Amino acid sequence: TACTDTPPGGGGTPDGPEGPGGGVPQPPSTGGAPTPTRRTTARRAVSYDSWRFWWGYNKDELLDLRGALRGMAGVSGGNLGVVAGYEAGGEAPPEDLTARALETRIVPVLRALAEDGSVNFDIQASGVLGLAKMGRREAAGLMMKQARNAGPDQVHYVVEETAALSLGVLQDRSEAVRSFLRELAADPSARTRTRCFAAFSLGLLADPALPDPATRLALEALVEAPEAKADVPSSALIALGLLGDPASAPRLRGWFVTGKAGGRVLPDVTLSYAAAALGRIGPSGLAEEERREVLDALFDRIRGRGLQTRYSAVIALGQFAPGCGAGMQDECVVALASIVKGAGRSGLDRQAVNFALAALGRIGGAKDAPPAVRDRAVQVLLGGVEDRGGSGSFAALGLALVGRGLPEPERIKFARPLRELLFRMSGDYETRGAQVLALGLLRDRESVAALMEMLVDRGNDPALRGAAAVALGLIGEQGAVEAVRAAIEEKEDRTLKVDAAVAAGLLRDGGAVPRLVAVLEDPKASQFALGSAANGGVSKPSGSR
């Protein structure tokens, strides 16, 4: 789901949706889905060819914070103190952290921020998004009013956009909400960006167990509608990918193979989103000959001139292949390996190589990957981990994608070369962060001591310390609880606080909640935004989606 800490950095609300299955990051362009509304800050923007950009679009799925929080559901009365190490019948938690207490302390503050038009627009928007992330469905009416933004009491356009996106984050799948979003997305009199975020929300409301033909047809109509700019059709394609309905696959295939929709030639950016949607949905809605047609089109687009479509096609191979037969999977691995080996050749830029490494991780990490396919992918990834030109970071994350679902003895085989490499490396988050996070995804307990040292050393890059905290959370290292709590309370760096909050959620540390509440109540605007995001993650009711 959307959150305020997705790279590239810079603050502001909202960001585009992330969704499962791997995101397809897009560089700034003159068309396509909207980039987030941003405030100018001194923080350096994340380069498009950095692994951090890819991580920002895929971390929700890989971290599976909601899965960790759902583990709290067995606690009687919702008392989060138990998950912080207080067993039934043992020492009582220092504070009553029942769901009722959380609701009493957090929700009123978020509600007040969401309704207060006198505060900074970023603060108000963060309040709206915080309510959505906590699953407060009674706020749907407020969000619809702000998203429509008509009448005398209009909100800032950032709040309007955030409200449109928050309706998807809220996960209220009622027909009233879906109908409102369909009408808003199709309304030519509404602001273009708000229409785009309404489309995103329709995708975020996907229910795998219950297809929504009305929404699918509305989004398909937006792709083919005559629009002056590419924004709305591109956003509709993103939403179709998030919706994940195999019934969309035939039309997506037609648009991607022909390069046209509604009789119009699709620009590079829009075509790239068609590739992304095909990758997310996979081949399940296509006959064998149609799958062949899609793969051939993906191979052709990789060799084509459109950079954005090339990148999306490379990533889509990693998503599309696992649903195909062993022969097609092997064909995709061979094609991706050829891209990696062709680094530096004409037409094969570094970013295509990086995404190919990530795609190899997707294919090799699929649950039913044939052993020969997995082994071929792993060989390419192992050969790339030592690369210091940036591709080594993608190779490390690709190995983690392959190994994270395997039994521990096999995970160790993947973790060992990454651990040894990390011990030899020096540098900041950009240089070492991917290796740190990969070791966390592999749940490598032999890295715990080094990760703890990295987290507590205030002389380290704060972002690197945050990555160490997240890695310790992924490993489930309960010995890191106090260090993570201390990082939440540090005042110097917002990113570290957010990462520490995520780590607390992964560690199921209910004892971190009072610290997050304190952050929320800090009068500084940046802290309000952080508190909304962090509390919406760590204290989200475990029963909500």
pLDDT tens, position by position, 488-515:
988 878 889 889 989 998 998 878 777 7
pLDDT score of 96: 42
Name the pLDDT band for 387 (thresholds 50, 70, 90). confident
Q: What is the pLDDT of residue 385?
A: 92
Let me know if residue 240 belongs to a domain. yes
Look at residue 270 and tell me if it is in a domain: yes
Are 106 and 517 spatial neighbours (Cβ–Cβ below 8 Å)?
Answer: yes
pLDDT confidence of 128, banded at 50, 70, 90? very high
On the question of pLDDT at 36 being above 90, the answer is no
pLDDT for residue 344 = 60
Residue 90 belongs to a domain: no
Per the domain annotation, does 337 fall within a domain?
Answer: no
What is the extent of the structural domain holding 314?
Answer: 208-324
Distance CA 87, CA 42 (A): 45
| Residue 2 belongs to some domain of the structure | no
Residue identified by tokens 């909500």 is 544
- 13 pLDDT exceeds 90? no
Give me the pLDDT at residue 342, please: 83
User: Please, which pLDDT band fits residue 435 given cuts at 50, 70 and 90?
Assistant: very high
d(CA 165, CA 188): 18
pLDDT bracket for residue 100 (50, 70, 90): low
* Mean pLDDT value across residues 401-423: 93
pLDDT of residue 14: 46
Packing angle between helix 462-475 and helix 448-456, nearest 10 degrees?
A: 140
Q: Are 510 and 538 in contact (CB under 8 A)?
A: no
Would you call 193 helix, strand, or coil by DSSP?
helix
- Residue the block writes with tokens 């560089």: 27
Per-residue confidence band for 521, with pLDDT thresholds at 50, 70 and 90 = low
Closest C-alpha among 223, 228, 298, 291 to residue 263: 223
| Domain count across the chain | 1
Kindly indicate the confidence band of residue 543, based on its pLDDT and cuts at 50, 70 and 90.
Answer: very low
End-to-end CA gap in the chain: 10
Q: Does 259 fall in a domain?
A: yes
Query: What would the mean pLDDT of 529-538 be, rounded to a whole number?
Result: 46
Distance separating alpha carbons of residues 100 and 122, to the nearest angstrom: 28
User: What is d(CA 282, CA 129) in angstroms, rounded to the nearest whole number?
Assistant: 30
Global pTM value:
0.80
pLDDT at residue 256 in the model = 97
Is the peptide bond prior to 8 cis by the omega test (within 30 degrees of 0)? Answer: yes
**Residue 313 lies inside a defined structural domain of this protein:** yes
Q: Which two tokens stand for residue 442?
A: 């592999």
Measured CA to CA in angstroms, residue 404 lies from 161, 331, 362, 398, 416 at distances of 36, 24, 11, 10, 13
